[in-house]
Structures are given as structure tokens and as C-alpha cells.
Structure 1
Amino acid sequence: MALSNSEIADLFDELADLLDIEGENPYKVRAYRNAARSIRSLPRSLAEMVAAGEDLTRLPGIGERIARKIETVVKTGKLPQLEQALARTPPTLLQLLRIEGLGPKRVKALFSALNIRTLEDLERAARSGRIRRLPGFGPKIEALILKHLDQALEGERRYLRFEAEDIATALIAHLRQAPGVDRIEVAGSYRRWKETVGDLDILVTVQGDSPVMDRFVTYEGVAEVLSHGGTRSSIRLRNGMQVDLRVVASESFGAALQYFTGSKAHNIEIRTLAVKQGLKINEYGVFRGEKRLAGEAERDVYACLGLAYIVPELREGRGEVEAALENRLPKLVELADIRGDLHAHTKDTDGRDDLETMAQAAKALGYEYLAITDHSRRVTVARGLDEKHLRAQMEAIDALNERLEGITLLKGIEVDILEDGTLDLPDSVLKDLDLRVCSVHYQFNLSKPKQTERILRAMDNPYFNILAHPTGRLINKRRPYAIDLPRIMAAAKERGCLLEINAQPERLDLNDEHCLMARDLGVGLVISTDAHTAAGLQLMRYGVAQARRGWLEKTQIVNTLPLAQLKQVLTRP
């Protein structure tokens, strides 16, 4: 079986990391990183495209050389250049790259100057004070490394839900080819749309003596069969993820789906409520004595307890059961409610597609508008725009809008918030834009008071509209920077600023608890993809799912408004 898109992207990311450590040409390193990002955002399987003989160079960020490498990976499951790099460099250095505060240049310095090859070596060096003496490190980096080492050494590996979806989709397609398979669903934290998952729980109903279990354990992505039974089997995939498959009776499918979707806190509340009503609830159904009252349909399980149906995203034990009893569950925002995307990049900076390609992709999604928000000049690695180049892009957008039908491009910028709280471009150009998306891209290690004041000072600028990826986190890679988020939210509400729910699967920033906080404080929000390709616009569903986990309704999301009303909101009081 060919590798999934996520697995292929991981190979190119690892190669880029190792080449970066070796000091390889930065353009080559960037090409591999761009290819990995492009591969992750593809809506189709690369294996299918290669099998169909499609021209991979038509994909954004994929040239002829990388296209040939992708074909090799699809056909052999290996990337020869990565294996060569691993042979030259200890593979444990990849572990060091996952420690917050370390990048390829610092890992190379640790490897060369201190002979550090493992996380244990790193811990000993940090505790002995040797790291702080290296150029470019210092006490803060050393303390940051120690702060996160315990989690890196002992923590359970969790996978981005985006990665898990790639795996689950391929597995389900494989299982559906078994005779007799009827219903099939992925349960657990995956179904609740948590940002990361530890494993996958798949439920299936079958007709007759289906060989679905045999097909499951012989899946070509299996590294180890942990158990193999008639109604339950467990495997470990080659990326380390465990997957469990359960065959359940049709009359119990709804009850099993409810039970295995969780969360634990939610299920405890459900069982407690059932006991109070003289009922018993488990994965087989809802019972009064020996009589089954419900089980086949999940909605009936909730209805038996006098509850409105609780969607999986809300099942976290945060008051949803009480709200369902009182018929006050929120009418959650849906993907169909989104009228446009307010954060997207083009090839003018670090995106991969031009203005018109992005516009047509947004139109195909049924959007009314799309904001073009390329980087400002401070982000030199992305070839950020200065005032001259931004004005040239603004003119190009105006010209394109004159001939576009059914979609309007908004003139915007993702402008850096500098360390002193000023914005990276002068007001003289910011005032001529439709909107400004403002971001922190450097100096993440400021103290909480300083980082908070930095953002508050930026919000004082009358041309500040949206605070992008407000906490700066990268899931599994970089922790949020320290800020007083309630204070920032209160200031945003007072000033007429908005906060972003960034839909990039490795960001999902704001997180679900912050979405709840924003809901309670009445702060205006936008859901944006931060897309760097036309295909990346399709990631909006991840941001919508995050908003749903935060109990958010359509009325709290500004980009559910028609364009005329949106423009009014974007005009600061």
C-alpha cells in the first residue's frame, strides 16, 4: 500500500530538517518544506494521482525533481535522499528538533559543540549549565528546554486530527471492500474533533460472516497485530498509531457509537442521569430492567433520557448535559454559514498561487469574498511586502475585481506586531486597505506582562482589525506564548477588534477553551484558514469544528456576514 499524503509530507519535512542541520542550500531546504505543506493540503491522494499518470508538476510547490521523488516514494515507500541523510546524521537529532526553542541551527550547534545525540544528553547538558554558554542560547533557552524535556521524554504521542483523518479515510476505504460491511464510523476523540488524537476507535456492523477482521489485520500499513478476534482486533500502524476495530450488532450500533465517542466525563454524566431515572445505559443500549428501550440510533439513546441530541463536538463534560435537559443547547455554526475567508496568502509572498487562482478557488467554495493578506516586510523569510509592493498588489486586486464575477477580493495584509507594539507598515498604507490581520511572528519568549502590553499597544492603532493566531502555538511543536488572554479579549471588545480562530490543523488557535471564553465575553471572532494554496482554503472545516467545540453560534462569527455588513464591522468605531 502506498503511503498516505501525511506520511509522504512527513518524509519531506524530515529531509528538510536534516539538510538544514547540515547547512544545505536554504532554497533547497525551503523547496522541500513547501512541498510538504502543499502535499498536506491536497484534497486527493498522491497515490491515486501517480497511478493515474497525472502530472504532479501542476501541483503548487512541486517541480520536476520533487515530482520524481514523490513518484519514487509512492511506488517504493521510501525517499532515498532521506535515507542517505539519516545515514550521515544520527536520527535522534530529529527528536531534538521537536523540543521547543530548538531549530536546525541550534540542534547543529548542540551536536557539534557538545556532542549531544539524545534527549538524555540534552537534559544532562541543560542541568549542568553547559547549554547557556553556547553562542545563541543563554539561560532563557536553557530553561525553556528543561521546561519541556519531561513531556518530550515521557509524554504519549498524539497525532494531529488532520493526520488521523488521512489514516482513517484510507483504512475505512480498505475495510469497505470486505463483503458484508454495512455501517462504519470512527468514534473517540476523532469524532469529537479534538485537535489531537492518541488512537483510532472504529465501529462496524456487518451482515453474515464478514471477513472484515481478517481484512483489518492484513492491512498493508500494519506494523504489528496486537490482537485478532472475531468481534475486536487491534493493530499498530507503521507510524506508531494504534487502531482498534469493533464489530457491533446493528441493534446496538447507536449505543456503541455514543459510548465509544466519549468523552469519559460526558459518559459519566449520562450514566448518572440514567441511574436517576431507573435506567441502565452501556454500549449495548438503554435498558429498563431487561427491556431494551434504545440502542440502534444514537439520537434515540439521548431521547430516552429526555435529552436533546448532543453533537459529538460538545461532549466534553462542560455543561452540555444540563443544557440539553433544559433545551438550551447552542445552534452551532456550520461550514455552510461561512461566506468568506479573511486570511489567505498568494505567490506574492510565501503562498503558491496567484490572485485569480485563489479567487476562483474561493468562488468554487461558494464564498462571497476572500481577503488577500500576504505578509508584511518584517517576515523576510516569506519575502514580506513593503509599502511599494503592497500598493502594487492593491492595484492588481482592484483590476481583477473589475472582471471577477460572483466573488470579491478584499485588499488586506498580515502585518507584523513589532516588539514595541507598533505595526510593521505605516498608517499611510494601512488606511487604504479593506482589513488588517495583525500577528506576532517573533520574540515569543517575552514575559507575560510585556507580551500582553505589546498586543494591547498594537490594538490601539485604529487600523488594527484582527488578531491572527492569538496565542502563537503550533500543536506538538511550540507552546503558546505567555499572554493575559482575558485582558486582550476585553480590550478587543472595547476597541472593536476581532480575534481569529486559525483553521490550520497545526494551529487551531484559538483553542476550544479560548473559544468558550470569547463566547462568554462577547468578543467578535473570525474563522480563517491562513491558506497558502488554493487547496488550503478547504481547511475551513477544521476552524468551524474548533468553533463548534467552543459552543459558538453563527452570530458570533463575523465572516458569516454578507460583504456589506462585514465592511461595517471592519470599520473601527
Structure 2
Amino acid sequence: MHPVDALQEIAFWLERDLAPSFKVQAFRTAAAAIAGRSDDDLEARLRSGALARTKGVGSRSLEVIGQALEGRVPDYLQALRDRERETTSEAGAGLLADLRGDLHCHSEWSDGGTPIALMVEAARTLGREYIALTDHSPNLTVAHGLTAERLTEQLGVLDDVRADHPDVRVLSGIEVDILEDGTLDQTPAMLDRLDVVVASVHSKLRADRRTMTERMLGGIRDPHTNVLGHCTGRLVQGSRGERPQSTFDARAVFEACAEHDVAVEINSRPERQDPPDDLIQLALEVGCLFSIDTDAHAPGQLDFLRLGAERAGQNGVPADRIVTTWPVERLLAWAHPQA
């Protein structure tokens, strides 16, 4: 394999493993430093020692480049591949094969670290038919949420990305905050322009049961809302520590989702695993649709979809109840029934 491909794949697996960003960036920097050079040129620079002195190429990257030039999979990459092979149930594997898209991911425009085009390219590599870009809304200032003006600017950028990636349908979207009064944190006119709206609670997560229930119901009842994102807000592992799930009337919330045709997100991030299994079962019982999404903030995290598929499979969620298994035209007709 070409050394650049090896370095980029290593970065991909490290992202999927939620490795520190500096480790990921080290391999991307090395890939950029040697991009465009032929194998012969790289081999000559390796022998002369010039490659070791190249800015951005560290000792581990140098080892990877040398082994790739020998025509083999570098040891470090092979170890990552082997570690990432997970036991997947038959049901989970079947659902993963059925998934066509992802309705929740972030870019460098809010709290992701990657340009939109690279997120879309990773989605293409993983075989996605469509992907929705859903950067945060302005209330979430810590995540550099998008004002209406910045979101308008982003829509123009999406047009350019679509032109460069015709084999992946790039959907416009937002992860919009459900504010404390139950309204959505973006203008209705702006929300009207988007393909997909994921509505989530990000603040005051320890509010009492009644307050949180009314807040969530307000967001669900807004006609712009398509998906209820990571509904409990819990964290079960990871660098941010653990966080208990919010308290709310789950039956009332899921019944409202079913009534208003809002999908309940099965968030695939390993630190979220949201909703927990008992709430997936309740949402299934009351007739909800689901959306299996990655909530990816980097290209490698787009592969989290397999984790959500596994949880849905374990809970017996039928494929046709999962909107991200639908062809994009059916998905858009559901998201905009009055269009």
C-alpha cells in the first residue's frame, strides 16, 4: 500500500478508538508532508536520511512509511486493524448492512475538528449513500454553535462540497438545542431551509422530571424537528467522565415522538450509548421510529455506526423502523411531508 494511505488509515482507526487528537494529527501531518512524492523518491529520501529530517515525519511515521514502501501492511496499522475487529451479532451485522446514511455529524464549523469535505470523503469510503451535516446551534457557545448568518454561509459551502462529491448525497442540517422553554435555538426561517433537524438538550441536564419532560415535549412538537438526539444526555465512559441520565417521563416523550413522527436517535458514540436498552424497548413498544447516527466529530468516528447497529440489533429494532435504512428520497419525504 502507498505510505500516505497507510498513514491516513492509521489516523482513521485512532479516531475511531477515541485516541488523543495529537496522536491522530501526527499521522495526518506526516501524510501531508509526503503527499505527492513517488515511491522511488521516498525510498531515496529514506536511504539518505532526508525523510527522517522532514518536518512532520516522526519516528513512528517513518517506520510506517518504510514498511509500506517494502510492500507490506505496516505493523502498527495491522495491530490497529486487529484490535478493531469486534464480535458482531448476526442481527447487528444485518442492520449495519441495511444502513444507508447518517443524520448526525459535526465539522470544524462547530466542535468537530475536520473540514466538511474530509467528513464527506470518509462517508464515501465507508459506503454511505448520504450524510447530514448537523453542526451545533448558537446557544451552545462552548461548541462554537452557528448563528443564522454562519449557517447561511455554511449552506453555500455545502453546494461546493456536493459538486465535488456527486456519489454521496450531502444533506444540510443542524443539531439544534432545545432551549429551557422548549423552543428550538434557531430561526424558523433558517430551519425551513434545512434537510434534517436533530433536536437535543445540552444544558440543565439535572433539571427535575416535570421540567425536563415539558422542555423535551416542546422540542418534539416543533414541526421542524425530525430526530430527538441523545435523549438522556448520559455518559457511560470516556475522557469526560460519567454522567447520569436525565430524569423525564420517557413514555410521554416517546408517545409524542410517535405522534409527531419524530425519530428517536440511537446515538452510536461509545461514551453515550444513548438511549439505554430499557428506553429503546419502551420507544419500540409505543411505535417510535429510530435513527442510528454516529454523532461523529472526526472522520474515523463515522465508523461508530456499527456500534449503534449492534445495539439496535440486540434490542430487536426492525430495519424498516430505522429511518437511516431508507433511501434518501423516502427519508426526505418523511422529513418534509408538506414539501
TM-score if structure 2 supplies the norm length? 0.74
Give 1:320's aligned residue: none
Deviation track 1:109-138 (CA, whole Å, cap 9, x = no partner) reads xxxxxxxxxxxxxxxxxxxxxxxxxxxxxx
Matches of 1:448 and 1:70, distance apart in 2: 54
CA contact (8 A) 1:515 1:551 kept: no
Deviation track 1:144-201 (CA, whole Å, cap 9, x = no partner) reads xxxxxxxxxxxxxxxxxxxxxxxxx969969xxxxxxxxxxx9xxx95x7xxxxxxxx
CA contact (8 A) 1:361 1:535 kept: yes
3-state DSSP of counterpart to 2:167: coil
Shift of the alpha carbon at 1:398?
A: 2.1
Q: Which runs of 4+ in 1 moved over 3 A?
A: 36-40, 67-71, 169-174
Counterpart check, 1:57 vs 2:29: yes
Matches of 1:504 and 1:458, distance apart in 2: 22
- Of 213, 227, 237, 1:452 maps to 213
Stretches of structure 1 that go unaligned for 5 or more consecutive residues are 1-35, 61-66, 72-168, 175-185, 194-310, 314-330
Shift of the alpha carbon at 1:332?
A: 8.1
Counterpart check, 1:522 vs 2:281: no
Give 1:464's aligned residue: 225
For 1:389, the aligned partner's letter is R
Matches of 1:493 and 1:484, distance apart in 2: 15
Give 2:139's aligned residue: 378
3-state DSSP of counterpart to 2:235: coil
Give 1:562's aligned residue: 327
Determine which structure has more spread, i.e. the larger CA radius of gyration: 1
CA contact (8 A) 1:332 1:552 kept: no
Question: In 2 relative to 1, CA 58–343 (structure 1 residues): closer, same or farther, beyond 3 Å?
Answer: farther
Matches of 2:250 and 2:311, distance apart in 1: 18
3-state DSSP of counterpart to 2:292: strand
Give 1:41's aligned residue: 16
CA contact (8 A) 2:234 2:244 kept: yes
Counterpart check, 1:334 vs 2:100: no
Cα RMSD (Å): 3.4
- Of 193, 198, 209, 1:437 maps to 198
TM-score if structure 1 supplies the norm length? 0.45
- Of 529, 538, 541, 2:306 maps to 541
Shift of the alpha carbon at 1:499?
A: 0.9
For 1:546, the aligned partner's letter is R
Give 1:142's aligned residue: none
3-state DSSP of counterpart to 1:418: coil
Matches of 1:334 and 1:374, distance apart in 2: 26
Question: In 2 relative to 1, CA 68–361 (structure 1 residues): closer, same or farther, beyond 3 Å?
Answer: closer
Shift of the alpha carbon at 1:399?
A: 2.9
For 1:411, the aligned partner's letter is S
Deviation track 1:417-443 (CA, whole Å, cap 9, x = no partner) reads 111111111101011100111111110
Matches of 1:482 and 1:567, distance apart in 2: 32
Give 1:391's aligned residue: 152
CA contact (8 A) 2:15 2:298 kept: no
3-state DSSP of counterpart to 1:493: helix
Counterpart check, 1:362 vs 2:337: no
Give 1:271's aligned residue: none
CA contact (8 A) 2:15 2:300 kept: no
Matches of 2:201 and 2:59, distance apart in 1: 34
Matches of 2:235 and 2:18, distance apart in 1: 22
Matches of 2:330 and 2:132, distance apart in 1: 15
Q: Percent identity?
A: 35
Q: Which has the higher contact order (CA 8 A, sep 6+)?
A: 2
Deviation track 1:260-284 (CA, whole Å, cap 9, x = no partner) reads xxxxxxxxxxxxxxxxxxxxxxxxx
Deviation track 1:368-422 (CA, whole Å, cap 9, x = no partner) reads 1100000111111111100000011011112322342211110000111111111
CA contact (8 A) 1:463 1:572 kept: no
Question: In 2 relative to 1, CA 418–333 (structure 1 residues): closer, same or farther, beyond 3 Å?
Answer: farther
Question: In 2 relative to 1, CA 572–471 (structure 1 residues): closer, same or farther, beyond 3 Å?
Answer: farther
Structure number having the greater strand percentage: 1
Question: In 2 relative to 1, CA 492–173 (structure 1 residues): closer, same or farther, beyond 3 Å?
Answer: closer
CA contact (8 A) 1:358 1:534 kept: yes
Counterpart check, 1:482 vs 2:254: no
3-state DSSP of counterpart to 2:175: strand
Stretches of structure 2 that go unaligned for 5 or more consecutive residues are 1-10, 33-55, 61-77
